[in-house]
Amino acid sequence: VYGSGLTGEVYRLRIAGKEYNLKKRRAVAGVANLNGQLSFLNEVQRRQALQRLKDNPVTAPRFTHIVPTLYADYRLGILLSPWIDGELIHHLTPPLIAQLFTTLEACEEQGLMEWDLCRGNLLVDHQEQLWLFDFGYMYPFDPLREFNSNGLADPLFHFVERFETRFFFSWLMTQVPGAEQQLAHYRDLKRLALESYRRKLAWLRARQAAPQVQAHFQQITARWASALADPAALSRLFAVEAFRSHVLDIEDDLHGQSCTLLTLQRIDWVLNQLEQHYRFIADEGGLFYDNEGKSQQALLSSYAQKRQQAQRYLQNASTPG
C-alpha cells in the first residue's frame, strides 16, 4: 500500500518492469455525505469520458495533464493508471497554474467541472509537468447554459474559485509566511486567471452562450481586471476572497466530517477576521449563504460552535474502530 485517501487505497505495482497505480475503493468512504459515498462511481464515469478525449487525436493535446486510465471497473472497485513519479505541489509557480487553468478550460468546454482541486489531487513530476489524477468530484454540466454543475443556483462557484478554495489559500496559510509574499502570489494567480477567463468568455461568445452566463463571467473578469490595475483594490479583493475560501472549505470539512488540524487553523483565522474586520467583510459582500445578514456577535458565536464541532470530528477520526 502506497497511501490512502478518503475514498480509496493506492497501491504501487511493478509488473514486467513497468510501474502502475492501482486505486482500490474503500468499503466505507471516509467522507460522510452522499457525494463522498458516490465519488468512486463518479470517478469511474469521468475517467471513461476523459480517456476518450485523450484517445481522440483532435482533443488529446488539450488533455495531456490528465492521468491516463488503463482500466476502470466500479463493480470490482479498481482503477488502474500508469505510475506518475511525482509529488504534491510545494512550490506553486505560474507555469503550474497555467497548465492547470488550460486543462480546466478544456474540461469545461467538454461539459465537465472539477470541484475538488485540493492539494492531494494535484501532482507535479520532475519535468515540472502538472498531473490531475482524481476525478471523484468532477461533474457534468452545460457550459453554455449553466454556471457550474449546480446549474444557475450557485454562481459563487467556478474553477478559479475552486482552486483558490481547495488549494491556494490553504497553501498560502501554511507555506507562505509573509503578507507581501502572499499578495505577490495572489497577483500572479489573478493575472493568469484573467487570461484564462478572457479565453473562456471568447469561447462562450463564439458559441452564443446564454446571456446570463456571458454576463456572469464578464462581471468576474471585469472585477479582476479592475483589481489588478489598482494595488489597494487588489488587497481588498485578496482579503474578501481569502475569507470566502476559508469559509467554504470549513463548511466542506464539517459537512463531510473530514476535519483536520488545518480546519481548526482556518476557523481560528476566520474568527480573527470577524473580530478585526467584520464591517469591511460585510460591506464587501463577504457574507453569503448562512452567514448573510448575521451580526458580528452571531457570527463569532457560530464559528466558536463550528470549532467545537470540528474538534469532535477530529477526535472521532483519530479514535480506532
Q: What is the pLDDT of residue 3?
A: 55
Average pLDDT over residues 52-75: 97
Nearest CA among 128, 120, 67 for reference residue 92: 128
Both 70 and 150 in one domain: the answer is no
Confidence of residue 87 (pLDDT cuts 50, 70, 90): very high
**In percent, how much of the chain has pLDDT > 90?**
88
Both 162 and 194 in one domain: the answer is yes
Average pLDDT over residues 120-128: 95
Q: What is the pLDDT of residue 5?
A: 60
Both 233 and 309 in one domain: the answer is yes
Q: Which of 39, 56, 83 is the last residue of a domain?
A: 83
Both 107 and 76 in one domain: the answer is no
Is pLDDT above 50 for 314? Answer: yes
Average pLDDT over residues 22-39: 74
**Torsional class of 208: left (φ above 0), alpha (ψ -120 to 50), beta (otherwise):** left
Q: Which of 26, 61, 83 is the last residue of a domain?
A: 83
Q: What is the pLDDT of residue 319?
A: 53
Average pLDDT over residues 234-258: 97
Q: Which of 83, 100, 127 is the last residue of a domain?
A: 83
Both 250 and 277 in one domain: the answer is yes
Q: What is the pLDDT of residue 86?
A: 93
Both 121 and 213 in one domain: the answer is yes
CATH number at residue 74: 3.30.200.20
Is pLDDT above 70 for 261? Answer: yes
Both 219 and 275 in one domain: the answer is yes
pLDDT digits (tens, 9 = 90+) for 266-309: 999 999 999 999 999 999 999 999 999 999 999 999 999 999 99
Both 25 and 143 in one domain: the answer is no
CATH number at residue 123: 1.10.510.10
Both 55 and 158 in one domain: the answer is no
Both 54 and 113 in one domain: the answer is no
pLDDT digits (tens, 9 = 90+) for 65-77: 999 999 999 999 9
Q: What is the pLDDT of residue 61?
A: 98
Is pLDDT above 90 for 217? Answer: yes
Nearest CA among 87, 86, 83, 85 for reference residue 18: 83
Both 257 and 274 in one domain: the answer is yes
- Count of structural domains, the chain: 2
**In percent, how much of the chain has pLDDT > 70?**
94
Q: What is the pTM of this model?
A: 0.93
Both 132 and 262 in one domain: the answer is yes
What domain range includes position 14? 1-83
Distance CA 16, CA 48 (A): 25
